[in-house]
Chains A and B, each alone.
Chain A
Amino acid sequence: MSESCANTALERMLRSLIDHEEEFRELDASAGDGDLGITVRSTATALSEWLPQNSGGSTSELLAGIAQVCASTSPSTFASLVSRGLSAAAKALEGQQREDLSSLVVALEAGIAMVQRRGGAVPGDKTFLDALVPALEAARTATSLTQALSLMRISAIAGTEQMVPVIPQHGRAAWVGERARGVPDAGSVVVIRALEALDGTGGQPWDGNTARQ
């Protein structure tokens, strides 16, 4: 992906995340404290302002910069974990000149490993790892960057929907136990909305309501 292409995709993603604030707020309120919409909107807004002035460097530098904005704007659990994951991804890409499918996989592997290590959750706990890990597995099977983004979106949706009937095992949602059954994990839905916007192939947006039980 060329630099301008990547920036356009990022801007599209940030806009979409801001537009979905209410969806994130409501999902989070049903299991947690309802601040996820605010976290995502304020972080995405700060990134929209930061991005135009900081887009000249390498992918590694870009990811490290985004991580810094995520850590300082509204460092809730979600934003803090995303920040740590992006920092790890930036480190994994340090010194790499190419921006191809293999570097996407390397970045995802490093980022997800860090989120697991720092957050303490594992796939199946009903956290955003249940969207991210299937997305990584899909990226590994892809033959192009474009195809990877499309497959990642589809796999993240499948992974999230699979967890809807499950009781969360980690984080704040686990405290409400049985009552979080039947509702998609809010952080996973953020991943889905981000991937939808990044995936230039388009397609019908995921209907979160039909996923509820």
Chain B
Amino acid sequence: MRKIMNAPKDFVDDFLDGLLKAYPQDFRSAPGFTRAIARVEPTGADSKVAIVTGGGSGHLPLFLGYVGQGLCSAVAVGNTFSSPSAETILAATKASESGKGVLYLYGNYSGDCLNFDDAADMASEEGIETVTVRATDDVASAPPAASGSRRGVAGLTLAYKCAGAAAAAGYTLSETAAIAARSLANTRTMGVGLSPTIIPEAGRPTFQLSEDEMELGIGIHGEPGVRREQMGDANQITDVLIDAILAELELTASSRVVVLVNSLGATPEEELYIVYARVAHRLATDGVTVHRALVGRYATSLEMAGCSISIMVLDDELASLLEAPSYSPLLRLF
């Protein structure tokens, strides 16, 4: 394993230390909780619904990078690929809520669900109202009949953007939650892995792939995908992903969509644009309008090579929320 790090057990605390030092004007840790990180709000900012997210480390810019203007308010940071504790989530909640309630918006992973649910109970005891919305956008992780058990992956990007804009525009907690839920209901993602992930503390790859193989339906934790196939060229790979997504979205010639082509970590932007070219061609063939495209690194799995494609169907309200101003030092958004 070749990684630039000090003691593997300090991997998360060390990168957080550097990140907080790099962007002191954007991020602050909650008192006594170095892993509960909130946005530095401008002084005199109006009170609004806070959006708290969180999950394991190893996915940057997910989750921390989505704390920013017009995005999330705070994040709870876990160990690599491992949930943050309920206490950390509660600390992030208290560091960011301003009396309008808190939306818990995160990916559907059992550890995160347990700890966010416990944090919600503790917050409720302290008089803080929370509502939970979980991302389940990965089509490869369960059949449509069991879509509620799917995992959340890069589609969270679009939900953060829409819900964050809603909160900034003064939507109530239930309205903000409804926007997050609708964003996710309209979004499907599928990924392909070309090389494994190495968890710093484990020090070895989570799986082995031979040169001519790809792992279809991979998630963002180096977990195996649903099936292994012969490596194809960019158009063939893109077609497999896009076919799985389009099978569930029922797009018509009047549909407007956002496309997100996401690197799982190691895949360079050049390759992502080759993928995007095929996506654009496929959608144009169906007469679908691409309202906006995002191409880059949005939800990664450390140094895994591969990419995911997400497509979100827009309505007028979601489209206007997407256009609202937003900023995080870790992201390129619209």
Contact string, A61-102, partner B, CB cutoff 8 A, digits 1/0? Answer: 000000000011011111011001000000000000000000
Determine if B83 and A76 form an interchain contact, defined as CB atoms under 8 angstroms apart. Answer: yes
Say which size band chain A's interface belongs to: 20 to 34
Determine if A75 and B82 form an interchain contact, defined as CB atoms under 8 angstroms apart. Answer: yes
A171→B149 CA distance, assembly (Å)? 9
A44→B17 CA distance, assembly (Å)? 26
Determine if B80 and A35 form an interchain contact, defined as CB atoms under 8 angstroms apart. Answer: yes
Determine if A81 and B81 form an interchain contact, defined as CB atoms under 8 angstroms apart. Answer: no
Determine if A84 and B114 form an interchain contact, defined as CB atoms under 8 angstroms apart. Answer: yes
Taking the complex as formed, is B99 at the interface, i.e. its CB lies under 8 A from any CB of chain A? no
Binds A, one of B157-165, B180-188, B200-208, B290-298: B200-208
A153→B163 CA distance, assembly (Å)? 50
Residue among A75, A120, A174 with the highest chain B CB neighbour number at 10 A = A75
Binds B, one of A25-33, A48-56, A157-165, A204-212: A25-33
Determine if A75 and B111 form an interchain contact, defined as CB atoms under 8 angstroms apart. Answer: yes
Determine if A75 and B86 form an interchain contact, defined as CB atoms under 8 angstroms apart. Answer: yes
Contact string, B137-155, partner A, CB cutoff 8 A, digits 1/0? Answer: 0001110000001010000
Considering the complex, give the chain B residue whose CB is closest to the CB of A173. B223
Taking the complex as formed, is A200 at the interface, i.e. its CB lies under 8 A from any CB of chain B? no
| The residue from A32, A72, A172 contacting B85, defined by CB atoms under 8 A apart | A72
Taking the complex as formed, is B213 at the interface, i.e. its CB lies under 8 A from any CB of chain A? no
Determine if B81 and A33 form an interchain contact, defined as CB atoms under 8 angstroms apart. Answer: yes
A84→B98 CA distance, assembly (Å)? 30
Taking the complex as formed, is B78 at the interface, i.e. its CB lies under 8 A from any CB of chain A? yes
Secondary structure dominating the interface of A: helix
Closest chain-B Cβ to A85's Cβ sits at a distance in Å of 12
Taking the complex as formed, is B226 at the interface, i.e. its CB lies under 8 A from any CB of chain A? yes
Determine if A81 and B223 form an interchain contact, defined as CB atoms under 8 angstroms apart. Answer: no
Taking the complex as formed, is A176 at the interface, i.e. its CB lies under 8 A from any CB of chain B? yes
Determine if B206 and A33 form an interchain contact, defined as CB atoms under 8 angstroms apart. Answer: yes
Taking the complex as formed, is B172 at the interface, i.e. its CB lies under 8 A from any CB of chain A? no
- A76 with B111: in contact, given A33-B221, A39-B82, A71-B85 (CB under 8 Å)? yes
Closest chain-B Cβ to A112's Cβ sits at a distance in Å of 16
Determine if B206 and A34 form an interchain contact, defined as CB atoms under 8 angstroms apart. Answer: yes
Closest chain-B Cβ to A113's Cβ sits at a distance in Å of 16
Determine if A179 and B224 form an interchain contact, defined as CB atoms under 8 angstroms apart. Answer: yes
Determine if A77 and B84 form an interchain contact, defined as CB atoms under 8 angstroms apart. Answer: no
- B115 cross-chain contacts in A, Cβ below 8 A: 75, 80
Determine if B202 and A35 form an interchain contact, defined as CB atoms under 8 angstroms apart. Answer: yes
Considering the complex, give the chain B residue whose CB is closest to the CB of A25. B202
Considering the complex, give the chain B residue whose CB is closest to the CB of A120. B110
Taking the complex as formed, is B87 at the interface, i.e. its CB lies under 8 A from any CB of chain A? yes
- 16 pairs, CB–CB < 8 Å, chain A vs chain B: A34-B206, A34-B222, A35-B79, A37-B202, A38-B199, A38-B201, A72-B85, A72-B87, A75-B115, A77-B114, A84-B114, A118-B114, A175-B226, A176-B226, A177-B226, A179-B224
